Chains A and B, each alone.
Chain A
Amino acid sequence: MAERGARLLVADDNKVNRLLLGRTLTLQGHQVQSAENGRVALEMLRGAAFDLLLLDMEMPEMDGFQVMEQLAADKTLRDLPVIVTSSLEGVAHVVRCIELGADDFLHKPVNPVLLKARVDSSLEKKRLRDQQKALVQRFATSAVADDLQQSGFALGGKRVQATVMFCDIRGFTAIVESQGPEETIELLNTWYTLMFEAITAQGGVVNQMIGDGLMAIFGAPLPVAEPPMAAVRAALEMMEMIELLNAERAAEGKAALAIGVGIATGDVFAGYTGTQERATYTCVGDTVNLAARLEAHTKVAGRGILVDDATQAALHARVATEPLGAVPFKGKAVPTEVFAVSLPA
């Protein structure tokens, strides 16, 4: 399928080349702008959206190799397709361009028929890539999607220091029984939207949704400045959201919702697990188990947010907590010091 009216940028320091390439592409139905060196080209690419870059290699101020390095390092530009147009001789140059991420290589003077074929093919590839990106983003949070795009897809994991959060709706079974299925799904969707919002705003990643509960990770796959602090801030935000939701529900004569949040900090093994066809970013390890136990313990303790000692210590008293003493959790050799995060009055 030929793309019509794509936005192309031609970067070439030679005026004759620039004019001719621009003319040829315009006649092929595209909107063409041009830059006389790499620096100008980068400025233009950062200032407006382009579908494709046709790049000469030898240019003053900033050459084509430098432009490609800058593009690869730029999150918003690294997917921009690049076709190198050069009359540099020797396979080594071509290889270097491809290694740096060029889609294709055209020798100058550029043959118009070949040019059309390469440009159309690159634009089609970009269209498919954009589609795929949108799909990945729909199913995973953007942090996971970015990580996938950066590191490629590989099953396997690594040990990282992270903060894990579990959260669920208390007494959800009773709520389900008191209302219709449509209302239940609507409530879950509202709840997930609010919780996602609070978690991702603090740099966390929701990696599992289990019925009326969820699991989130702070500090992986992308680093967060202070995972424990970010997780506790997210939890407080979640509590506030629930209060707002309950105010609305009360106005509609509906029962109030309550959530429990458990947070633990420590080593986790994080990575993609599953099969090549269907995989999820997840974390396993003691820290994950502990966070789940703490969440379950909120019912026993009658508190909304419980954290372990490692998380509490990392807060450095910036958030008020109350020690609840040591609790012997299943699967832990020694009892864990548990702290309740104080909610604003």
Chain B
Amino acid sequence: MNIIDHSVFAELQATAGADFVVELVQTFFEEAPPMIAELRAAQAAGAAERFRRAAHSLKTNANTFGATALGAKARELELGGLPPDASGIDALQAQYDTAVAALKALSHG
């Protein structure tokens, strides 16, 4: 699966403006780590609804940028119910790190 769907990202730049997308990506980098932290906290606390909401937000944002693999992973967590351990969150974290690198390269490219 693509890290970033380039057509989605290019479309976003075309409609919102490339400069604005740089800012938007930056906002995502600020907002996403607390969401992942929320996933971990909700999993540890056994709070299924909090867990689902955090995964839902991540999914929406990932899809906005065309971060397909990250979006798919977040959706899996959103619809999968409360997991017994943090392995799924670790996998999502890895997807996120990869997406960050790709988005940085793309938005300044």
Chain A interfacial positions (CB closer than 8 Å to B): 13-17, 19-20, 23-24, 27, 58, 87-89, 108-109, 112
Closest chain B residue, CB of each to CB of A87: B60
Given A15-B27, A15-B31, A27-B16, are A20 and B56 also a contact pair (CB < 8 Å)?
A: no
In the docked arrangement, what's the CA distance between A14 and B74, Å?
A: 15
Q: Which 7 A-B pairs have the closest CB atoms?
A: A109-B64, A112-B15, A87-B60, A16-B61, A108-B60, A23-B16, A109-B63
B98 at the A/B interface (Cβ < 8 Å)? no
The answer, yes or no, to whether B94 is at the interface (CB within 8 Å) is: no
In the bound assembly, the distance between CA atoms of A14 and B23 in angstroms comes to 15
Interchain CB contact under 8 A, A20 and B24? yes
B53 within 8 Å of A (CB atoms): yes
Q: How large is the interface on B (under 10, 10 to 19, 20 to 34, 35 or more residues)?
A: 10 to 19
Beyond A27-B16, A87-B56, whether A20 also contacts B64 by CB under 8 A is: yes
Are A109 and B60 also in contact (CB < 8 A) when A23-B20, A58-B53 are?
yes
State the CA gap A15–B30 with chains docked (Å): 10
Q: Interface code B39-72, partner A: CB below 8 Å = 1, 0 otherwise?
A: 0000000000000010011011101100000000
With A19-B24, A19-B27 as given contacts, are A14 and B60 in contact (CB-CB < 8 Å)? yes
B32 to chain A, nearest CB (A): 9
Among B15, B17, B28, B53, the residue within 8 A (CB) of A16 is B28
Which chain A positions have C-beta within 8 A of B24? 16, 19-20, 23
A108–B59 Cα gap in the complex (Å)? Answer: 10
A13's nearest neighbour on chain B, judged by CB, is: B57
Task: Give the nearest-CB partner of B57 in chain A.
Answer: A14
Residue of B31, B57, B79 with highest tally of chain A CB at under 10 A = B57
Which of A17, A19, A20, A27 gathers most chain B CB within 10 Å? Answer: A20
A19-B27, A23-B16, A87-B60 known, 20 other contacts, Cβ within 8 Å: A13-B57, A15-B27, A16-B31, A17-B60, A17-B61, A20-B24, A20-B64, A23-B17, A23-B20, A23-B24, A24-B15, A24-B16, A27-B17, A58-B56, A88-B56, A108-B60, A108-B64, A109-B60, A109-B63, A109-B64
In the complex, the chain A residue whose C-beta lies closest to that of B31 is: A15
